[in-house]
Amino acid sequence: MIFAQIRNSREPSNSALPERNPKGWEVYRFHIDAAIPYCSLTLSLLLLFFLATACNSTPPKDTPNSFRVALLTPGPISDAGWNALAYEGLKKIKETLSAEVSQVETKTPTDFEEAFRDYASRNFNLIFGHGFEFQDAAAKVGADFPNSVFITTSGSTVRKNVAPMRFLLEEATYLMGMMSAFVSKTGKAGAIGGVEIPPLKSTFMAFEAGAKSINPNFQVITSYIGNWEDIGAAKQATIALIAQGCDVIIPNADAASLGAFQAAREKNVIAFGTNKNQNDLAPSVILASGVIDIPAAFLQMAQSVQNHSFQGRIIRLGLKDHVIDLVYNPTLKNRLSPEAQARIETAKQQIINGTLSVPSVEFSPVQTGTS
């Protein structure tokens, strides 16, 4: 232990003289005028250390100025379809806008609301609910968090900070319906869906209309399995449809669609992909895919929120917006004659320029509010 005491001015100023106290301990007496330079040096070094630490420290990710985007999906992002596309969109936002992003899988309306509320309470700027089923929860939570924007990928609910993006996939399924009428030998096609919701029903309605535009007697038999994940159920539903004479199938059931493609491959019947380019999942039987460029749509939405140009409204995106497309499997395209391909291309251009109206299921009337 070191003690410093004021010394007599007649003693040498730079000395530290040991002495023994009554207990025999040796004590060094540092004089105050000798100690001050050392204290000043120590304080200066400490000040420099703290300044350097402050300058070199990295700000935490959760800063008030960071742009934060979250995604709620109804199924796994490994489904090679609907949810995988949404996750690709989230990653594109992160890479392009240097945003902080997060994703969670949610199953029930209670999950939807809890996840929306959790992200909004953590000041996420934009939160996607990936599906028609998220709109009620988005409107409810949006009323409590006006500074966050809630986007559902379908629906009709609109608020100042809540809006649906409608991907007009039915424009592509109409064209695939035309294809099915050209290639089918039985005049029957099977449609396998997950949950029976308006946007899904629209894709099948348009598919049937496209087929009937070529063959008025064409029949489409639809089967819903009631979920988005049961691959086995989708496979069995497809096998049952094939047993009824369907030699073309179109699944739209997210991850469960993989089961439909397995059945199509085993039974050697033509299939169509939906949402994502699924041609490579069963290249021996998938003739074409109706594709949604969800990553591009997500990025456009994120940019509008980031630059404060977002407005709550229904946002419709189709072939003319380059968000929907029809992608052929090049190895099977020759199943269609040049004449058939020409008719399909003509119909596509008519949809784009507005002279051909594709039928779809009417959603509930637009729900608007002041919140």
Mean pLDDT of 27-47: 44
Does residue 2 contact residue 31 with C-beta atoms inside 8 Å? no
Residue-level pLDDT at 342: 98
* Residue-level pLDDT at 41: 46
Band (363; pLDDT cuts 50, 70, 90): confident
Q: Once rounded to an integer, what is the mean pLDDT over residues 362-367?
A: 62
pLDDT grade, residue 281 (50/70/90)?
Answer: very high
Average pLDDT over residues 326-354: 98
Cα 356 to chain centroid, rounded: 31
| C-alpha separations of 29 from 4, 22, 43, 119 in Å | 5, 15, 21, 63
| Residue 275 falls in which region: left (phi positive, over 0), alpha (psi -120 to 50) or beta | left
Vertex 310: Cα angle to 308 and 155 (nearest 5): 155
What is the secondary structure of 314-365 as a DSSP string? -EEE-GGGTSEEEEE-TTTGGGS-HHHHHHHHHHHHHHHHTSSPPP-PPPSP
270 touches 285 (CB < 8 A): yes
d(CA 301, CA 29): 73
Q: Name which of 57-66, 110-119, 225-234 the model is least confident about.
A: 57-66
Q: Identify the weakest region by mean pLDDT among 15-19, 202-206, 212-216.
A: 15-19
Can you tell me the distance from the alpha carbon of 341 to that of 205, in angstroms, rounded to the nearest whole number?
A: 21
More confident residue, 64 or 279: 279
**Domains, the chain, with CATH or none:** 3-51 (no CATH), 68-167 (3.40.50.2300), 170-292+332-363 (3.40.50.2300)
Inform me whether the pLDDT recorded for 59 exceeds 80: no
Q: For residue 368, is pLDDT > 50?
A: yes
CA gap 70, 56 in Å, rounded: 30
Residue 333 pairs in a beta bridge with none
What average pLDDT does this structure show over 1-23? Answer: 39
pLDDT over 90, % of the chain: 79
Q: Which of 51-65, 66-80, 180-194, 280-294 has the lowest mean pLDDT?
A: 51-65
- Is 38's pLDDT higher than 50? no
Instruction: Please say if the pLDDT value at position 50 is more than 60.
Output: no
Report residue 362's pLDDT band, with 50, 70 and 90 as the boundaries.
confident
Distance separating alpha carbons of residues 2 and 25, to the nearest angstrom: 12
With a cut of 70, say whether residue 130 has pLDDT above it.
yes
Averaged pLDDT, 137-141: 97
d(CA 193, CA 203): 10
Give the chain's length: 371
pLDDT of residue 95: 97
Mean pLDDT of 314-340: 97
Element (H, E) at 193: strand 188-193
The pLDDT assigned to 122 comes to 97
Query: Taking residues 264-270, what's their average pLDDT?
Result: 98
Give residue-wise pLDDT tens across range 344-353.
Answer: 999 999 999 9
pLDDT at 364: 61
The average confidence (pLDDT) of the chain is: 86
Residue 100, phi then psi, degrees to nearest 5:
-85, 130
Mean pLDDT of 67-90: 95
Q: Where are the alpha helices (DSSP H) in the chain?
A: 32-56, 82-97, 109-121, 135-144, 170-183, 198-214, 231-243, 257-267, 294-306, 338-353
